[in-house]
Structure 1
Amino acid sequence: MPADPFPPEVDTASLMEAAAAMHRQGQFGPASGLYSEVLRRDPSHAEAYHQLGLVAMQVRQPEKAAELFALALGAGPPTAAMYANFGEALMALGRRFEAVGEYTRAIEMQPDLAEAYGRKGDAELALGRVADARLSFEQALARKPGLASAHLGLGGALSAEGRFDAALAAFQAAAALNPSSLAAHFNRGNVLRALGRVDEAIASYDAAIALNPEFAIGHHNRAFCLLQAGRLAEGFAEYEWRAKCPTFEDPRYGLPNRWTGAEDLAGKRLFIFPELFLGDVIQFSRYATMAAARGAKVTLGAPKALHGLLRGLTGEIDLVDEGATPDFDLQAPLMSLPHAFGTTLENLPGVARYISADPARVAKWRERIGPEGLKIGVVWQGSTQPYALPLARSFPLSMLARVGAIPLVRLISLQKVNGLDQLESLPAGMTVETLGDDFDPGPDMFMDTAAAMEACDFVITPDTSTAHLAGALGVRTLVALPYVADWRWLMGRTDSPWYPYMWLYRQTERGVWDGVFAEIENRLWAELA
């Protein structure tokens, strides 16, 4: 018989000591063998289960680790470290609510365990319990002020609360304590961008990218800052990194024969597939008309709901459903076209009008609305999707009360779906006309909206797809923007190079719309003077 590799005279304490030494050296297999031998001899040895769980975590087997940590706690007596590490395994499995409970038990057993407070905060933040998370991070830092991960988590909680200056201080501290933390530099960049400090944000993204040159989301966010700063050529080039980001999953990014701008388009079948959201398709569909002007036979993919509208694009452009991939000679994602065309602020194709509304519908809505007064089409509620909410794409309809009180001004609702409930609670004396149940009732979104816009003298809107529609139609448009607006509105400008008949009104204080609408009111008084 082979010799017993673990002679009986070697006691379990010695086996644990030897296993720990191997464990520290990264010899996980031999260490696991020794821990398992301890458990063969003593099935109730809690620390052996615990250490086996740690090995499982280190070899990325969180489900096995969770089972082993549970066995360790059941064998007892439990320790704070066992509870905390069980929480780590549960976090790795996405079981965040349970993880909070384990971190809490660790803290109850060892109140000075700063790391457990910090990880509890991470779990709470992931659960959306922002205030609880902030308190946990603060508790961690009260016990261990130099805990970089807690500063990082605190910055995340403060960002979620919109407290960007305080969040910046937290991320600064995290980066100072751990200069190799990619997350600290990246999140500092995000907060600086939210504060409108775009050049500093670019520097922070640069620091993150220096740590990992393939950090795609860092390049992506850096691109937005470059674009917002008006550095369009650099920004659109950098934006090509989006295809490597997890949220950009369209397999068509991998199609062959990408049009880069260098290839001759004359007589070629160019397929353009859509990206992002409705407003983006409307704004950047102008590049499809530019490609057609170069002699390309253009096929544009778009959401079916936009086909009726996009049939009004200048030039001969075939439309296909957004998920289709027709035959092509060359192809390009929609948002790569500005880069392919070499777009800069100096050559940006800010044409006055590149979409036309259906003439029959325009006639219908001109008659329905009538010629009286200064007719202002109004939209107040933007998308309620998660991507849009941080950009403050809405304002209360009541903010237009003073505009509506100007003599001869008629406010005409172009709002659809979200926000219509506000029509039922208008301030005293405020009137907003609606266009009836037959206003854009069918599958073709925006067809009636486009026609009604052409029947109005102005459109007032936040940063929504209707802003891009009005701009594409060449309708005079007043856009109400938040303190830090989306990149396409650049910085500090009152005009838009994308749309010659558009004027921008920006908050001067975060979340406060009064000054914006005072400026809009003054503009309309001047129009009537």
Structure 2
Amino acid sequence: MASASRNVSAPVEDTLRRARISHERGALDDAERGYRDVLKIDPDHAEALHMLGLLHFQGGRMNEADTLLKRSIERMPSALALANHASVLIGLDHRDAALDRLDRALSLNPSHLRSLLLRAGVLADLGRYVEAVTAYDCLLEIAPTFVDGLCRRGAVLRVLGRHMDALVSSDRALSVDGRSFDAHRLRAHVLRDLGRLEEALESYGRALAIVPNNAEALLMQGLTLADLGRLEQALASLSDAIAGQPDFIDALYNSAVMLERLERFEQALARCDRVLSLDAGHAGALGNRGNALYGLGRFADALESYDTSLRVAPDSLEVLCNRARVLTHLRREQEALESCDRAITLRPGYGPAWFIRGRILQRLHRYEEALASHDRVTEIDPSDRLALFQRGNTLRSMMRHDEALAAYDRVLAFDPENIATRFTKAFVYLQTGDFERGWAEYEWRWREAQVGNFKRAFAQPLWLGEESIEGRTILLHAEQGLGDTLQFCRYVKFVKARGARVILEVQAALKSLMEEVEGVDQVVGYGEPLPPFDVHCPLLSLPLVFRTDLASIPSGVPYVRANPGQVAKWQTRLGTRIKPRIGIAWSGNPNHLDDHNRSIPLEHLLLLLSDEVEWVSIQKVVRDEEQPLLETSCIRQFGDVIGDFADTAALVECLDCVVSVDTSVAHLAGALARPLWMLLPYLPDWRWLLDREDNPWYPTARLFRQPHAGDWAGVFQRIRAALPSIAQVHSAALPT
């Protein structure tokens, strides 16, 4: 019998040896045949069962591997077989069973490194992090230079928030192997968690020098660059991750976020759509898609995307707040408030929801409630500069200007060069008549995002009145809106009086009108080549140059004039005047930040009209949604035949009075010295000052202010009461 056993054993062991060689060389089909040949001879051969089970595990055939490894262990238990069976059980997501196998393996061989490593990993997978650290410590007592163990231990310590210990673990690994990708990556992750972003970036760079195309490291490098505000570089890193792994959703999504933050909204939208083609329910991509659409001004589409995102992740605070923003743009303020309140219910201390809520309430003129919301933000974070700034804006809207200035000063205590705050302080000073401080602060406008777009970069120096310009050529250039140009072109003659040749650059629509302004030597329209000049000055810096205060405002009108020939044409077009002829303008630039406050819906204005007056629209542009209503009203329209502002000036000269909201046509009427009735919101633009019916900039203006925020009805009531005075002037002017 002994001889027969040896005869069987020899070919089995030889076949097993050849199968193992094939297995090691990657010839898996040959290896499988060899293992099966052994099992045909000896069905309970423990090593063949073990190796065939391992081969199936490597091929992803988990259930077959499970069966084979169980049989192997029953025949001849070993630490290695138990560890490999544990790996299969982990693959089958049976971690508790895997832990039992590993405990048994270590009972057979307490120093078995693979079992120690796997056991620590399973404990971490099960969320038993403290036990996992202890398990890694046991492993490292036996193998203190085991780099993989050091890195895995560091990763668990990071999860536990023990970042300094994790950093020690990564540094120990690097002391063993300075080119360990895992150790450099772990170190970078920990440093990023600690907020040591530049050091983290350096470590990501070292990791990527070892494995240049690792998508996960490129992703994290990109996110770190984004945290540092280096968005273009962040986008480049994320793009590299995508180039190596085109379907890497995390990189695709975060690149969409970068594109949206860079205001490349079309590209951001396309990138979000790419993410959604891979994962239609990706809540982040749906939300960021809404952000991109919001940036493109496609508010209804943005709302739809936010709503879809919330169906996937109904508790997303950020999306709820962004939804509130877009609803506000759609003038659905009550729904916007409900969206904020939902976020606050989910997390009462979520500052952004309180902040947006305050902005919406301010827009609704519910100032006390808005103030309470902003105060809640500053309770959550006393250093929240944006909330402090908006608190100041709310106080300003409530006419509590001293308190508003105090709120702005709190912002400046944190950030002395906060541009929006310095710029807004200028408005408060100007509105309250403190021109000396107002004009000085107003120079901060060039550093403000929107106004800064108007800043001109000339080789010639800026002139602010310090040096003589006698015999020199100065370029005075318009900035911001048409109304600003009309208001401040009055200063041209004073510059001319300094002995300079004056070139005036203005918006094309104003060019012909400005040619008759006193003191102008040459008028240039935007976009036209500029003639040579020595110095330059923006128009709205001229009050600073001339140290204008309330008593010294250049109030002489008219300082622009209509062309008599154009006036005659308009008189013919309008026909015989048989009753008072009043021009009206009810809306201005829809893109103006304060348009919702300044403009009046046409349907409200129609309540003012009476048959005793001939009403003439002096708006060249009417909003599409208002055109049908205008066509059915008694208002005469000439928008399609009104040319530039010189043409509008001629039309205004033919009117008894202009009734207008705060728009460029109002400035035109004032500059022409025509009777002007201004319809002003409760908190108007700074130039209309406070608590007075007249205006030193325009002596022919009469101001009709809202008695309360949003109360146009009160304004209309006063206008109707005053209309007979225009009729009397008209009657006195008729021939007898």
Query: Would you call these one fold, judging by a TM-score over 0.5?
Result: yes
Distance 1:140 1:398 in 2: 35
Equivalent position SS for 1:205: helix
In 1, Cα distance between equivalents of 2:424 and 2:685 = 12
3-state secondary structure, aligned to 1:372 = coil
Match of 2:498 among 262, 280, 294: 294
Call closer, same or farther: CA 1:507–1:493 in 2, change over 3 Å.
Answer: same
- Is the counterpart of residue 440 in structure 1 residue 642 in structure 2? yes
Match of 1:477 in 2: 676
Cα distance in structure 2, aligned partners of 1:21 and 1:448: 68
**Greater CA deviation, 505-514 or 88-97?**
88-97
Aligned match of 2:152: 13
Match of residue 347 from structure 1: 552
In 2, the alpha carbon distance for the partners of 1:7 and 1:92 equals 39
Give the superposition deviation at 1:348: 0.7
- 1:456 partnered with 2:655: yes
Contact 2:218 / 2:240 at 8 angstroms: preserved in 1? no
Query: Residue in 2 aligned with 1:509?
Result: 708
The amino acid across from 1:10 in the alignment is G
1:377 aligns with 2:570: no
Structure 1 letter corresponding to 2:611: A
User: Hey, what's the Cα distance between the residues in 1 that align with 2:691 and 2:577?
Assistant: 35
2:461 partner letter: N
CA shift at 1:520, angstroms? 1.7
Equivalent positions of 1:384-403 (< 5 A) are 384-387=590-593, 389-396=595-602, 399=605, 402-403=608-609
Q: What one-letter code is carried by the residue in structure 2 that aligns with 1:172? A: D
Match for residue 152 of structure 1 among 352, 355, 366: 355
In the alignment, the residues of structure 2 paired with residue 266 and residue 397 of structure 1 have an alpha-carbon distance, to the nearest angstrom, of 54
2: CA distance, partners of 1:187 / 1:32: 39
Q: CA deviation at 1:334?
A: 1.0
Residue 458 of structure 1: CA displacement? Answer: 1.2
**Does residue 467 of the first structure (1) align with residue 666 of the second (2)?**
yes
- Counterpart in 2 of 1:321? 525
Further displaced range: 169-178 or 378-387:
378-387
267-276 vs 449-458, which deviates more?
Answer: 449-458
Say which is worse superposed, 489-498 or 138-147, in terms of deviation. 138-147
**1:164 and 1:195 in contact (8 A); partners too:** yes
> What is the distance in 1 between the residues matched to 2:201 and 2:436?
53
Q: Does 1:28 align with 2:200?
A: yes
Deviation at 1:330, TM superposition (A): 2.3
Q: Distance in 1 between matches of 2:287 and 2:580?
A: 64
Of 446, 450, 461, which aligns to 1:257?
461
Distance 1:380 1:35, change over 3 A: same
The alignment partner of 1:272 has SS state of: strand
Q: Does 1:277 align with 2:485?
A: no
Paired residue secondary structure (1:470): helix
- CA–CA separation in structure 2 for the residues paired with 1:417 and 1:33: 56
Partner of 1:231: 434
1:241 aligns with 2:241: no
| Contact 2:218–2:238, Cα closer than 8 Å, also in 1 | no
Query: Shift of residue 162 of structure 1?
Result: 5.7
Greater displacement, 499-508 / 152-161 = 152-161
TM-score (normalised: structure 2): 0.59
Asked if 2 retains the 8 angstrom alpha-carbon contact of 1:265 and 1:296, the reply is yes
Displacement after TM superposition at 1:285 (Å): 0.7
More helix per residue: 2
Which secondary structure does the structure 1 equivalent of 2:649 belong to? helix
Q: Which 5+ residue runs of structure 1 have no aligned equivalent?
A: 76-81
Counterpart of 2:384 in structure 1 is 181
By relative contact order (CA 8 Å, sep 6+), the higher-ranking structure is: 1
- Scaled by the length of structure 1, the TM-score of the pair is 0.80
Question: How much does 1:345 deviate?
Answer: 0.7
Tell whether 2:720 aligns with 1:521: yes
**Quick check: 1:271–1:332 contact (8 Å CA) kept in 2?**
yes
- Note if contact 1:283-1:472 (Cα within 8 Å) is conserved in structure 2: yes
User: Which residue of the partner structure matches residue 411 of structure 2?
Assistant: 208
Task: Specify the SS of the correspondent of 1:285.
Answer: helix
Distance between the aligned counterparts of 1:102 and 1:364, measured in 2? Answer: 56
Instruction: Give the AA of the match of 2:146.
Output: P
Deviation at 1:448, TM superposition (A): 2.6
Asked if structure 2 preserves the Cα contact closer than 8 Å seen for 1:155 and 1:167, the reply is yes
- What is the percentage of aligned positions where both structures have the same residue? 31
C-alpha offsets along residues 74-105 of structure 1, whole Å, 9 cap, x if unaligned? 99xxxxxx99x998875444259763647999
Write the letter of the residue equivalent to 1:231. Answer: D
CA gap of 1:90–1:150, structure 2 versus 1, over 3 A, is farther
What does 1:136-151 correspond to in 2, within 5 Å? 137-151=340-354
Over 3 Å counting, the alpha-carbon distance change for 1:155 and 1:8 in structure 2 is same
**Which structure has the larger Rg?**
2
Q: 1:136 to 1:458 in 2, by over 3 A?
A: closer
Contact 2:587 2:661 in 1 (8 A): yes
Partner SS for 2:552: coil
Q: Which residue of 1 aligns with 2:561?
A: 356
Unaligned 5+ residue runs, structure 2? 1-142, 158-165, 167-185, 261-267, 273-282, 289-305, 729-736
Question: Which residue of structure 2 lines up, in the alignment, with residue 197 of structure 1?
Answer: 400
* Preserved CA contact (<8 Å) 1:62 1:93: no
| Change beyond 3 A, Cα 1:57–1:109 | farther
Q: Is the 8 A contact 1:395 1:462 kept in 2?
A: no
Give yes or no for contact 1:482–1:510 (8 Å, CA) kept in 2: yes
Deviations 1:354-385 (A, max 9, x none): 01110122233334443433222222332223
| Matched residue, 1:79 | none
| Bigger Cα displacement from structure 2, 367-376 vs 451-460 | 367-376
CA shift for structure 1 position 5? 11
Match of 2:295 in 1: none
Higher mean C-alpha displacement, 281-290 vs 128-137:
128-137
- Cα 1:140/1:351, change in 2 over 3 Å: same
Judge conservation of contact 2:461–2:536 (CA < 8 Å) in 1: yes
Name the structure 2 match of 1:413: 617
Partner residue in 1 for 2:422: 219
Q: 1:456 to 1:522 in 2, by over 3 A?
A: same
Query: Is 1:35–1:51's contact at 8 Å kept on the other side of the alignment?
Result: no
Q: Are residues 1:499 and 2:701 paired?
A: no
Counterparts of 1:358 and 1:218, CA distance in 2: 43
Distance change in 2, residues 1:99/1:133 (3 Å)? farther
Give the letter for the 1:424 counterpart. E
Gap change, CA 1:31 and 1:253, over 3 Å in 2: closer
Residue by residue over 1:410-464, the C-alpha shift from the partner in whole angstroms, topping out at 9 and shown as x without a partner, is 22332322155433232xxxx3344596x424xxx12232122222221111111
Deviation at 1:255, TM superposition (A): 4.6
Summarize the Cα distance change of 1:253–1:211 in structure 2 as closer, same or farther, 3 Å threshold. farther
Indicate the SS of the match to 2:659. strand
- Determine the structure 1 residue equivalent to 2:631: 424
Q: Which moved more, 1:20-29 or 1:384-393?
A: 20-29
Out of 509-518 and 180-189, give the one that drifted further. 509-518
Q: What CA distance in whole angstroms lies between the structure 2 residues aligned with 1:455 and 1:257?
A: 43
- CA drift at 1:261: 2.1
Give the C-alpha shift of residue 9 in structure 1: 6.3
* Alignment partners' CA distance in 1, 2:648 and 2:221: 64
SS of 2:581's equivalent? strand
Is residue 366 from structure 1 mapped to residue 571 from structure 2 by the alignment? yes
User: Which residue identity does 1:440 align to in structure 2?
Assistant: I
CA distance in 2, matches of 1:189, 1:108: 37
Counting matched residue pairs gives 499
